[in-house]
Amino acid sequence: MASTELGARLKKFRQTQQLTQTALADQLHVSRQTVSSWETGRNQPDIATITQLATLYAVPVDDLLQDTAAVPVTKPVAHLNASLLVVLFGVLLVERVTQFSTFPALYWMDFLILLLIGLMLNLGIARRHPNTWTKRIHWLGLTLFATLSLVSGSINAFNMGFGLMTTCQFSGLVVVIALVRKYWQSRSTKVTQH
């Protein structure tokens, strides 16, 4: 096996985990230059380090060593969130246009749709200028959306009718599932890093 092939795979796995060379070096207690030499093919990690890398990336050792191994396909969180927001936006917009309801209920749906548009804009900003605040605003906004959707659907706010009520509950539930899933993913990532 050529060192450059192994190096290219190690780099892809590191990037998939969204780790810098420095962050990976800190976790493995080696220098950044050592990680760089592995990825460029100048040197190869020893078997103990390859085992550590496999554990860190949550893949079998064979996946790191074999050419046929596919680098795990993990979509960036931003991409998954964008898809979720677009689907929810479409569902709410279709329900808003097709359901007959009271004006306050329709205005409430307009508010939820505008909240989703705001979250999509924030996600676009986060892609271009990633920082802690855009992430916090995004997760806070999703939590707010989920809470408002579930509560308004559960209490049938503004006498919205069965269609809009069900849509609100469904949308809120989908976001809650996404938030819980993200929480458990981030928690399991922290556990594997320690």
CA–CA separation, 192 and 194 (whole Å): 6
DSSP string, 122-163: HHHHHHHS--HHHHHHHHHHHHHHHHHHHHHHHTTGGG-HHH
Mean pLDDT lowest for which of 63-77, 107-121, 124-138? 63-77
Q: In the 3-class helix/strand/coil scheme, how is 40-62 assigned residue by residue?
A: HCCCCCCHHHHHHHHHHHCCCHH
4-59 per-position pLDDT tens digit: 788 888 898 888 888 899 989 998 999 999 999 999 989 889 888 888 888 888 88
Global confidence as pTM: 0.59
CA–CA separation, 175 and 172 (whole Å): 5
Task: For residue 4, give the 3-state DSSP assignment.
Answer: helix
